[in-house]
Amino acid sequence: MYSESEFLPLSGLQHLLYCERQWALIHVEQQWSENRHTAEGRVLHRVADEGRDESHSGFRIARSLPIRSLTLGLAGKADVVLFPLSGGGAPVPVEYKRGRPKPNNWDKVQLCAQALCLEDMLGIAVPEGALFYGLRRRRTAITFTAELRRYTEQAAARMHELYQSGTSPAPIYEPKKCDRCSLLELCQPKSLGNAGRDSRFLQSSIYKNLKAQREAY
């Protein structure tokens, strides 16, 4: 269990899974820079968050709902949560994303964390939610499997581990990720990453030479 003073932003899960160094630059070093991708995502979330709560199609629609989990040590806001008006059904969290569905689980993890927060707060099971992608303009239903729940819990634990360390992981240049990242200029993965590899290579060479010398005697 975590105390409220130990809560980390739930939204950081996606940063962490994209790149642990990106997460640390934002949440440990408090650095930020925006590009087209982050700006489009921010606008889409603002549209979802600024709508009024309402009732529609058998659901009460809560927008920008504050949520938290003492178990995960996370807090944030759910873009939309659908609460059934009758029948005692489970709430359905809905997360808004720019673009289209991705081959990885990053969006699903962020949504699953929202479900785990709702379960902690309400004491009921939340078996599924939905992702709404800006390009497709429709919801994709997501089932919160045991595997997805474990992965989400592990990601939250990793965030706390990195935060407690107080240090940022060394950069590793991956063109497909780094060239799209808004923090590219702040991170400098090409120069700092190469320097780190050179340093590790030098340390390895020194270690091997010393070992060889010891063995020779």
Q: How do beta strands 8-9 and 92-97 pair? A: unpaired
DSSP code per residue over 151-205: HHHHHHHHHHHHHHHT-PPPP---HHHHTT-TTHHHH-HHHHHHHHHHHHHHHHH
pLDDT (0 to 100) of residue 217 = 40
CA distance 206 to 64: 55
Task: List per-block mean pLDDT (blocks of 10 residues) for the chain, which spans 217 residues.
Answer: 95 94 90 53 52 77 96 97 90 91 91 98 97 84 98 98 91 88 86 53 42 46
CA distance 156 to 148: 12
Q: What angle do CA 33, 42, 97 make, to 5 degrees?
A: 120
CA distance 71 to 164: 17
pLDDT (0 to 100) of residue 190 = 84
CA distance 75 to 29: 19
CA distance 77 to 63: 9
pLDDT (0 to 100) of residue 68 = 98
Closest CA to 92 of 80, 82, 107, 79: 82
- The strand pairing partners of 92, in sequence order, are 82
pLDDT (0 to 100) of residue 177 = 86
CA distance 99 to 97: 7
Q: 36-78 pLDDT, tens per residue?
A: 444 444 544 455 555 566 787 789 999 999 999 999 999 999 9
- CATH assignment of 4-169? 3.90.320.10
pLDDT (0 to 100) of residue 188 = 86
pLDDT (0 to 100) of residue 181 = 87
Token pair for residue 176? 């497909």
pLDDT (0 to 100) of residue 51 = 58
Entry pTM: 0.78
Angle between helix axes 146-165 and 20-27 (nearest 10 degrees) is 50
CA distance 58 to 36: 37
pLDDT (0 to 100) of residue 52 = 64
- Enumerate the domain spans of the chain: 4-169, 170-217
Q: Which residues contact 47 (CB under 8 A, 6 or more apart)?
A: 96
Please give the span between the terminal C-alpha atoms of the chain, in angstroms, as a whole number: 54
